Amino acid sequence: MSHIFTKLLEISPLVWTILGVIVLFSLLGLVWTSKKEAKQSSTLTTKKVVYGGMCIALSFILSYIRLYKMPQGGSITLASMFPIILYSMVFGPIAGIVTGVAYGFLQLIQDAWVLNWAQLLFDYPLAFGFLGLAGMAPSAIKAKELRTVLAVSIALLGRGLMHFLSGIIFFADSAPEGTSAVLYSLGYNASYIIPELIITLILSVILISTPIYGAMKKSVA
């Protein structure tokens, strides 16, 4: 099991510094907003930025805990997408998409697999931006576990769709002889998106029952 966490030791000092700054400013923002409760609209906007920064940092750290890494990009992690999905469920799809796009650009400093600028957009900001669609899970669904399952499924399958399209457009030459680009891309991306989806579903249903979700919802009420 120890090899799963070895990637954490490979994070460069620069990356740790960036994450530290994000977390520090997020914590300072939380302290500041707690003293500004009278200004509701300003406070809510600030909280979006604060929680967004913290969720990006947490997702990025979790993305280094890899269970398996694919040869041409993509990996199975310890539910690294869940913090951004949770953020999207609390603050809505627009804020979630913006946060996901920001996280996608941050992923470029972690073993990025880039062929050209168009493929970069598909596999990073656009793919991770789709995580924000978790916020579209209807709030009318009162059972938070059911809403979480729907949100996680929308987010991960949306991200998978962008990787699937990228595979067809940019990685067709990697398909074995006699295999169509569509089937190759579907098989390649499903091999890590589906396990990631299952892991995230299991852990998210467990975590959503803890005070974390309730505390975030209460703070923006």
Beta strands in the chain (DSSP E): 66-69, 75-77
Q: What is the pLDDT of residues 102-120, one digit of tens each?
A: 899 888 887 778 888 889 9
Instruction: State the pLDDT confidence band at 184, using cuts at 50, 70 and 90.
Output: very high
Q: What's the predicted TM-score (pTM) here?
A: 0.81
Percent of the chain past pLDDT 70, that is, above it, reads: 79
Residue with tokens 């699937």: 164
Residue 188 has pLDDT above 90, yes or no: yes
Q: What is the pLDDT of residues 55-100, one digit of tens each?
A: 999 999 999 888 998 888 889 999 999 999 999 999 989 889 989 9
Domains of the chain: 2-219 (1.10.1760.20)
Res 38: pLDDT: 46
Residue 201 CB-density burial (10 A; 0-12 exposed, 13-18 middle, 19+ buried): middle
Res 208: pLDDT: 87
